[in-house]
């Protein structure tokens, strides 16, 4: 262990986007993150300017509408990685058992191994938890599935473990790499994985999953509907309850068959008619 480590603190003016930015950073940082109400702290023994540059690049692609203040410090090292690992326990969601590699798989469950940078994309966050619950409830394993904004790949992995044929995409190349690594970690195969979004999908899918944020769900509404077969399922998540009406207004021509809420986060299951 090195004597010093780097700490990058990002303070965000808009609390609504903290989860979104943290999820993005989680796919870049291989070490621990700490997420507060309006802040994200990254710690590493390596220089963290690449994280700052990547977040700035993301903000730029979104039109520079997210206000972030950065503070970089170098501090005396402690064994915070071990402390972090001890804080991440396995989690059961319906049929699934999500666990990091320093734990054992569980008999009688569908096991998914994920080594998270934090509790995002690992089943612990409310949006991922609800999506896994829905996947276990609705999929029978014969479906063709598209996971849009795949992040760590955990949702696509859940579908694949049930027997579905899975395609995945994300606009962030680091997420694409993370997804590929997690499929390899689970000895699982996907049909296609690309950097981009649903507008690059080929054909129609029995199930389309988009666990993103409300503003993006509104922006790609036509692409998601187009990719979903008639009578197919469209699973939307990453929706803060205070923004739910904005999303339901855009998807009102579809049949809402289930709504799940965990904490302040909402997951909606639609059938394309």
Strands (E), 126-264: 144-148, 165-170, 192-195, 205-211, 228-240, 255-262
pLDDT of residue 85: 66
Burial of 224 (0-12, 13-18, 19+ CB in 10 A): buried
The pLDDT confidence band at residue 178, using thresholds 50, 70 and 90, is confident
Q: What is the DSSP letter of 15?
A: G
The pLDDT confidence band at residue 83, using thresholds 50, 70 and 90, is low
Mean pLDDT on 64-91: 77
Asked whether residue 37 carries a pLDDT value surpassing 90, the answer given is no
Q: Tokens at residue 85, please?
A: 């690992």
pLDDT of residue 245: 95
H or E stretch covering 180: helix 173-185
Instruction: Pick the more confident residue, 94 or 118.
Output: 94
> Nearest 5°: CA angle at 126, between 160 and 30?
70
Sheet containing strand 165-170, strands side by side: 192-195, 165-170, 144-148, 205-211, 228-240, 265-271, 255-262
All CATH 3.30.70.270 domain ranges of the chain, comma separated, are 4-83
Sheet containing strand 4-12, strands side by side: 33-35, 39-44, 4-12, 68-76
pLDDT of residue 58: 85
Which of 54-58, 62-66, 149-153, 177-181 shows the lowest mean pLDDT across its residues? 62-66
Topology of the domain covering 120-271: Rossmann fold (3.40.50)
Looking at every residue in the chain, the average pLDDT score rounds to: 88
CATH 3.30.70.270 fits 4-83, yes or no: yes
**List of residues 6+ apart from 142 with CB closer than 8 A:** 163, 164, 206
Half-sphere exposure of 181 (CA within 13 A, CB side): 14
pLDDT digits (tens, 9 = 90+) for 180-211: 999 999 999 999 999 999 999 999 999 999 99
Is 0.75 topped by the overall pTM?
A: no
pLDDT of residue 31: 54
Asked whether residue 119 carries a pLDDT value surpassing 50, the answer given is no
Instruction: Pick the more confident residue, 200 or 50.
Output: 200
Asked whether residue 242 carries a pLDDT value surpassing 70, the answer given is yes
The pLDDT confidence band at residue 121, using thresholds 50, 70 and 90, is very low
Q: From the CB of residue 90, how many other CB atoms can be counted at a distance below 10 Å?
A: 21
pLDDT of residue 240: 87
The pLDDT confidence band at residue 81, using thresholds 50, 70 and 90, is low
Mean pLDDT on 205-234: 95
Mean pLDDT on 139-154: 94
pLDDT digits (tens, 9 = 90+) for 95-107: 999 998 888 999 9
SS3 assignment, position 184: helix
Burial of 175 (0-12, 13-18, 19+ CB in 10 A): buried
SS3 assignment, position 34: strand
Instruction: Pick the more confident residue, 26 or 50.
Output: 50
Instruction: Pick the more confident residue, 159 or 172.
Output: 159
Asked whether residue 147 carries a pLDDT value surpassing 50, the answer given is yes
All CATH 3.40.50.150 domain ranges of the chain, comma separated, are 120-271
């Amino acid at each position: 262990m090195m004597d010093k480590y780097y700490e990058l603190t990002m303070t965000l003016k808009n609390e609504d986007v903290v989860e979104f930015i943290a999820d993005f950073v989680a796919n870049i940082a291989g070490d621990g993150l700490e997420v507060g109400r309006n802040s994200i702290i990254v710690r590493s023994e390596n220089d963290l300017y690449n994280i700052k540059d990547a977040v700035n690049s993301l903000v730029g692609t979104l039109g520079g509408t997210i206000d972030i203040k950065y503070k970089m410090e170098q501090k005396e090292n402690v064994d915070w990685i071990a402390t972090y690992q001890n804080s991440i326990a396995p989690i059961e969601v319906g049929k699934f058992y999500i666990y990091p590699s320093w734990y054992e798989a569980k008999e009688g469950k569908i096991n998914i191994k994920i080594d998270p940078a934090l509790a995002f994309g690992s089943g612990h966050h409310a949006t991922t938890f609800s999506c896994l619950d829905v996947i276990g409830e609705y999929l029978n394993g014969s479906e063709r599935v598209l996971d849009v904004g795949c992040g760590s790949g955990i949702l696509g992995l859940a579908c694949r473990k049930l027997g579905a044929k899975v395609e995945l995409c994300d606009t962030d190349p680091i997420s694409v790499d993370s997804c590929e690594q997690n499929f390899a970690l689970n000895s699982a195969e996907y049909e296609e994985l690309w950097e981009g979004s649903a507008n690059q999908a080929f054909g129609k899918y029995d199930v389309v999953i988009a666990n993103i944020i409300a503003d993006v769900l509104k922006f790609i509404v036509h692409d998601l509907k187009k990719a979903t077969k008639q009578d197919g399922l469209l699973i939307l998540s990453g929706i803060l309850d205070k923004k739910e009406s904005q999303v339901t207004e855009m998807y009102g021509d579809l049949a809402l068959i289930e709504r799940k809420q965990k904490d302040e986060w909402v997951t909606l299951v639609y059938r394309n008619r």
